[in-house]
Structure 1
């Protein structure tokens, strides 16, 4: 291994000094809770030498999101000016909810259907679920394989209104809110638009299902 003294004698910057400066910069700019993060820094390329530098300056080049693929710039301004760009990848291991076994579309998810593992999340969707409680009781929109991460887009809330049952229908607008009883014509989840029949007027209207199982029509 070439000693630091040898690098200084050749008036060439030690590549390990460049790497250390870049790594120290990256670690200093990671979020406070950086446990489970792995830094992969590439370069400097073997055989490429830079003049010795009195002080190395490091900064992010381009998008400075600390996760995923990034680039850092290493700059020297004295005694000579040079710069290089080093690719860096930040891998983050976090808790991820996965299917513990193959699941079929339409299944109502139970605790035994899920498992929690630690995985590198830099390549996963931001909608990946971190806690089983966010999925239990939800309806799976399509089938999954064992080990597949569960995302919010894969789930539907269960129906809180069922066709044929009576619901409270609210008509509201301009500061007025009127409540009546209606028959649900369709099943409905929170936020879904369904048709109901107003028992008082006999009219069929379309309204939005609330998390409480009511239906609201705005006018």
Structure 2
């Protein structure tokens, strides 16, 4: 008894004959809980519950309550709380490790920064996505035509954070400038002062008035300013 800590005193002091929740049953319950909360597109996850330690006995519970402690990352490690309120209250925090193999887009060869990606630059492999987060690409079409922000090694996963949309406006190029507001749209011609990608704000010079203004680049290569 002297080896028991205060937190485990209730567990360690249980009579051998008392009704208990086994460590194996608790792990099985946590595994089912985690699997039921996985995204619908994940069907092959391997779930590893760390603890409770073999041999520990917990008072039998009328109804086990489970929940996620902190951020529940559906693609990586997480912590699950297991608690009981009656007849004897107790609570556990169990780390859970996930191993999920899914299609992952990787670089087919070493690639340099600012490269516009083509199908030949990419491959699809099965890989454990734990640690990659939810921004790893699964379909090459998500990357084709995008611009690589920095160089990669062959086999390196391609993630959304590594990509930029291609520039659709170049400095010195004439673009259509739209002024929009209150249901009114006025079009004129402007000269781009900066390069721009869709959604990016750049400076342009109104060819008619000579004014330099900042507008937002559209997917079609126009620039829009509110008024």
* Residue 75 (1) aligns with residue 84 (2): yes
Match of 1:89 in 2: 97
TM-score normalised over the length of structure 1: 0.79
Q: Do the aligned partners of 1:193 and 1:209 also contact (CA within 8 Å) in 2? A: yes
Q: Do the aligned partners of 2:61 and 2:84 also contact (CA within 8 Å) in 1? A: no
Instruction: State the Cα deviation string for residues 6-39 of structure 1 (Å, max 9, x = none).
Output: xxx8446443333333333433444444412111
RMSD: 2.9
* Residue 49 (1) aligns with residue 57 (2): yes
Give the number of equivalent residue pairs. 210
Instruction: Mark the runs of 5 or more structure 2 residues left unpaired by the alignment.
Output: 1-15
Spell out the pairing of 1:116-135 with structure 2 (5 A cutoff). 116-135=124-143
Counterpart-to-counterpart distance in 1, 2:71 and 2:150:
36
Instruction: Mark the runs of 5 or more structure 1 residues left unpaired by the alignment.
Output: 1-8
Counterpart-to-counterpart distance in 1, 2:80 and 2:120:
42
- Describe the shift of the 1:108–1:10 C-alpha distance in structure 2 as closer, same or farther (beyond 3 A): same
Match of 2:12 in 1: none
Instruction: State the Cα deviation string for residues 53-89 of structure 1 (Å, max 9, x = none).
Output: 36562412534736221223153734x5544443222
TM-score normalised over the length of structure 2: 0.76
Comparing 95-104 and 31-40, the one that deviates more:
31-40
Q: Paired residue for 1:202, among 203, 210, 216?
A: 210
Spell out the pairing of 1:114-193 with structure 2 (5 A cutoff). 114-193=122-201
Secondary structure at the aligned position of 1:35 is classed as coil
